[in-house]
Structure 1
């Protein structure tokens, strides 16, 4: 199901307020992410960052990371 850009604006404002700046995220940091399959519900997964996948310094929906357990998603909160 295709979502409108309004949905993505809502997601970035309501779910991913932190975690949009790459400078605040580093390997070993504890974060909450929203995985691609959970974007519709906004369910978060907590873990430690293994690898930062987003190359740019900022992303409006959150920096994409891989957690130590292998989960990939966008950071919505740095703990």
Structure 2
């Protein structure tokens, strides 16, 4: 069985400054099945992470996710392949 990941969970998981980061990390340690997320959830997550300064554009160096292609690779960890 697969779980479903929503924006709030993904943002908290990726952003160590998020108030729910600890909760998201604990949940991710307990989940054994792939988590699914639809493309709108992933797009919204990227939007929120960019606003938090975690996703940078134009190839500038950054702390976390640098491009949509890297985001897609990260999303595959949750069982969602955007290139299928």
Give the TM-score, by structure 1 length.
0.30
Structure having the higher strand fraction is 1
Using CA pairs under 8 Å that are at least 6 residues apart, name the structure with larger relative contact order, 1 or 2.
1
Structure having the higher helix fraction is 2
Which structure: larger Rg?
Answer: 2
